[in-house]
Amino acid sequence: MSHIIKKTYPVTGMHCAVCARNVEKALSRQEGVLEANVNLAANTVAVSYEDTQTPQSLRDAVRSIGFDLIIDAENPEKELEEMENERYRKMKNKTIGAWSFALPVAVLGMFFMHLQGVSYILLLLSLPVFYFGNHFYVSAWKQLKQKSSNMDTLVALSTSIAFLFSLFNTFFPEFWTERGLEPHVYYEASTMIIAFVLTGKLMEERAKGKTSSAIRKLMGLQPQTAHVLRNGKEEETAIALLRQGDLISVHPGERIPVDGYVTDGNSFIDESMISGEPIPVEKKKGDKVLAGTINQTGAFVLCAEKVGSATVLAQIIRMVQEAQGSKAPVQRMVDKVTGIFVPTVITLSILTFMIWMLIGGGGYFSHALLSAVSVLVIACPCALGLATPTALMVGIGKGADAHILIKDAVALEEMRRVDTIVFDKTGTLTEGRPQVTGWLWNRPGDTDYKNVLYAAELKSEHPLATAITQALEKEGIAEAHIDSFENIVGEGIKVSKAHEIFWAGSRRMLKRYNIQLSESMADMVKAYEHEAKSLVYFGKGEELLAVVAISDSIKEASYEAVKILHARNKYLCMLTGDGHLAAQSIAGQLNLDLFKAEALPQDKEDFIVSLQREGRIVAMVGDGINDSQALARADVSIAMGKGTDIAMDVAMITLINSDLLLLPKAFKLSKMTVRLIRENLFWAFVYNIIGIPVAAGVLFPAFGILLNPMFASAAMAFSSVSVVLNSLRLNWKRL
């Protein structure tokens, strides 16, 4: 049985949306490839394929249409950056070279066209410009061999037509003079088109580089080397060579290279890149540390637990990259348009030529030719192709800077439609650092079972389990040996010791074992619930041993976040496994609109579904395994960064430092990004809707205006650059 591999590869040589579309088509046609999504702004492609396929065969498919994949580099992102820098340098030299000859051609062609022999001078000056723009023709030829086309096809066609017509008129002017017509040459049009297009691509590449600044900033947090302890000596080793279990010495001021735990020494660590908190956190033996965080003044040794792509920082980088490469629904519509764009433009160009000739005959040949060439030049699909991905890249990058990790472009587009937000309670609305505030034992002798409870709760991932183990550790309780452990989702845990069954969990565990509370116990439980305390029931078989009261205070940020979201007309709900009275108390303090208590994972999912049936667009915010079903069901799923890995895997968005005040910012970011996408698409479409008819000559009958191809090329270059620059405006706006 084959396995599915999903990888993101850098792509070189793409210029426009049609290039991206052709790369996707070339990969999708390969056997075993399930999906291929190109991010033009980032120059990457995310490919899902069966393991029967090989990266080399994917590369061969892309190479066959004139592009390339980077598949075997140790650091593909760095290699792509180096290649893009080299490409930018070459393009800069080509642009300077093209303008050096195109400007004299334009001056001679427009002001000294009647000089004797000027056509031959223009021809000689034009040839170097075609050399500097040779990649347009190479690319167009490769596309033609694949029965495809892209922006290079339009540039190659338009400049070739203008040049070949001029070449004919240079050597055979009598063909026109014998017919009473002027043998015009248009070397300045073809050379200026190449110069303007090169300039536009140069500016576009420079601006596009800025859209991926968030990724480069995150990558900059990764140190390149580490001090590994081997045989009692420090060896400086490349990060790529580190393995799980390596002992690494961290010096003052250094970035921590891997995720691990302190084995010797202590220090204060700046974890602001993960938590957003500026105050350094003290770390001592046994404490966890994360890659990319900064050691302050102390020195310590850590044992590597997660290295390379498994570290938290590497996963954040990967998620941001995948999100920036994912496609918003609106982009799929744009892809369909760009897929037929170039053939449509070529058809329009031919029609333009034919209409001019039908209207004016041979006397309008020059007008017909110029208008056809202008249509080819002005109708560049770059602006359309860049409109959505550049906005998404900047928006997702801005989110990453603000500790909002967006994993899917769909979420960014959907968030603006959300009218209902459902919160999990523990760790989301509350601190998630609960403390035991009371023990209610059934009989004095039952306290002997504390060691069993301690051993059981050590294996649990529920936030309340930590509170119980910490309380028992303070009492010096030792861990009992247990024979088995079982997690009963939404209810609690069950263990066995010496053939006896012990359990701990919510009130549902009482129903499971048919246990009735005594009158005195019931009164105490009710009093605890009125105080909004969470309760954990502990028992042996069909006998209740104890009730543990745990208090988890509401986050200060929760009050402010709820207030802001209410002001934005959001309907706010809460789900919790706690009893009704405790849930009612929390919901009342926060002024929530609706809550559901004693909710199992299935109940949480059903609650989301019931809201959706009412026509609501629902966002779910949670942090635990028991929230994963509801997160998966919601229209937009949001996880707290300090929650479980499962919740973060399911969620579309992660609030890295678990600060709920980031939630209103995430909604604002969604609104701003979608507005930006719409602005970009509006101007890209309007540009073509207005530009193509003007280039075709619709203004000529009424105003005598005919668009020169060189001005069409300038307008085309400006359209692409303006879309990228408009997207970059988002970087300067406050969330």
Secondary structure string (H, E, C) spanning 352-373? HHHHHHHHHHHHHHHHHHHHHH
Give yes or no for a contact between 417 and 634, defined as CB atoms under 8 angstroms apart: no
In the predicted model, what is the mean pLDDT of residues 572-599?
Answer: 86
Asked if 518 contacts 443 with a C-beta cutoff of 8 angstroms, the reply is no
What type of residue is 456?
A
**Average confidence (pLDDT) over 557-586:** 89
Average pLDDT over residues 507-518: 88
Confidence check: pLDDT of 149 > 80: no
Contact 243, 307 (CB under 8 A): yes
* DSSP letter assigned to residue 178: T
For the chain, percent of residues with pLDDT exceeding 70: 85
Q: Which helix (H) or strand (E) holds 300?
A: strand 300-306
> Across residues 433-440, what is the average pLDDT?
85
In whole angstroms, what separates CA 403 from the centre of its chain? 13
How far apart CA 366 and CA 358 sit, in angstroms, is 13
The span from the CA of 676 to the CA of 330, in Å, is 12
Amino acid at 723: V
Share of the chain above pLDDT 90, in %: 16
The token pair at 595 is 């809550």
Residue 213 has pLDDT above 60, yes or no: no
Report whether pLDDT(625) > 70.
no
459-470 residue pLDDT tens: 887 768 888 998
- Got the DSSP string for 43-111? TEEEEEEETTS-HHHHHHHHHTTT-EE--S-SSHHHHHHHHHHHHHHHHHHHHHHHHHHHHHHHHHHHH
Higher pLDDT, 351 or 274: 351
Stretch 382-403: mean pLDDT:
78
pLDDT at 128 over 90: yes
Q: What is the pLDDT of residue 645?
A: 57
Tell me the sheet residues that pair with 436: 550
Cβ proximity of 9 and 69 under 8 Å: yes
User: What is residue 502's predicted lDDT score, i.e. its pLDDT?
Assistant: 94
Task: Read off the tokens for 417.
Answer: 């439609």
Mean pLDDT lowest among 56-65, 110-119, 309-318, 445-454: 309-318
Would you say residue 277 has pLDDT above 90? no
405-417 mean pLDDT: 81
pTM of the model: 0.63
The stretch 476-502 carries a mean pLDDT of 88
CA-to-CA separations, 280 to 218, 255, 299, 427, in angstroms, rounded: 19, 13, 14, 22
Closest CA to 543 of 521, 565, 567: 521
Asked if the model's pLDDT at residue 569 lies above 60, the reply is yes
In the predicted model, is pLDDT for residue 698 greater than 60?
Answer: yes
542 SS3 class: coil
- Number of Cβ atoms within 10 Å of the Cβ of 489: 12
pLDDT at 190 over 90: no
Q: What's residue 572's pLDDT?
A: 95
Q: Which residue has the higher pLDDT, 330 or 13?
A: 13
Mean pLDDT of 288-307: 86
Higher pLDDT: 338 or 303? It is 303
- Asked if pLDDT for residue 368 goes beyond 60, the answer is yes
pLDDT at 215: 56
Q: State whether residue 556 is helix, strand or coil.
A: helix
Q: What is the model's pLDDT at position 731? A: 81
Residue range 627-680, pLDDT digits in tens: 777 888 888 888 887 654 555 566 788 888 778 899 999 999 989 988 888 888
Average pLDDT, the chain: 81
- Would you state the pLDDT for residue 282? 80
How large is the average pLDDT for residues 235-247? 85
Rounded to an integer, the average pLDDT of 63-86 is: 74
Q: Given pLDDT bands bounded at 50, 70 and 90, which one contains residue 445?
A: confident
Radius of gyration from C-alpha coordinates of the chain: 33
Average pLDDT over residues 540-567: 90
Weakest mean pLDDT among 268-282, 301-315, 484-498: 268-282
Axis crossing angle, helix 17-28 with helix 329-339, rounded to the nearest 10: 90
Alpha-carbon gap, residue 459 to 424, rounded angstroms: 22
- In this prediction, residue 88 carries a pLDDT of 82
Residues annotated as catalytic (active site), given as ranges = 424
Residue 79 has pLDDT above 80, yes or no: no
Nearest alpha carbon to residue 198 among 287, 131, 125, 107: 131
Q: Scanning the structure block, which residue is given the tokens 């619930």?
A: 529
> pLDDT class for 350, splitting at 50, 70, 90?
confident
pLDDT reported for residue 76: 61
Higher pLDDT, 715 or 9: 9
